Amino acid sequence: MAGKQVGQGAPYKPTERPLVKPIAIIIAALLGTTSVSPAAAADIVAGPNSWLVGDWVLCKNPDKSSKDAMHFAPDGTGQVISAKGSTELVYRVRGDRLEMLANAKSYAIPITLTIRPKRDVLENHDEDTGSVTTYVRKDGPRVAECDA
């Protein structure tokens, strides 16, 4: 078999991708045939947690703890903002829970809030006192109900 090379013919050029364009056209055609509701389309474009993105303010504060607010960015990061400054956090939504890790002086502090079904209130259940502190969107209609 001397002198014969496997796959004789034109040498392979890594920049040539003859199947990429047809596959892309097929995928685009398949995606174009699916039916998506306007609400689902908004979630696809803005992300499934777009309802959370923005500023949330302390609303009900039965323990009279220091007043704070939270800001959530689309990329899963955010901040707790208080008179003492701001603390960075990362978050994820799991069902009816908002799970956060706040960076307090290089310590990761876990915080879990309950999300009300209408996604208009976040609740913090204090295990020590049994009270429930709530947060609402700063630009939402529920802010008129706040007493904190």
Q: Is 105 a residue whose pLDDT tops 80?
A: yes
Helices (runs of H) and strands (runs of E) counted in the chain: 2, 8
pLDDT at 148: 79
Alpha-carbon distance of 90 to 131, in angstroms, equals 25
Q: Is 145 a residue whose pLDDT tops 70?
A: yes
pLDDT at 9: 54
Least Cα distance to 132 among 57, 72, 58 occurs for 58
- Residues 146/59, Cβ–Cβ less than 8 Å: yes
Least Cα distance to 133 among 101, 111, 104 occurs for 111
Q: Which two tokens stand for residue 73?
A: 């960015």
Q: Is 20 a residue whose pLDDT tops 50?
A: no
Tell me the per-residue pLDDT of 107-141, one tens digit each, with 9 for 90 and over.
999 999 999 999 999 999 999 999 999 999 999 99
* Neighbouring residues of 120: CB distance < 8 A, sequence distance ≥ 6: 136, 137, 140, 141, 142
Domains and CATH numbers, the chain: 47-145 (2.40.128.280)
Report if pTM > 0.75.
no
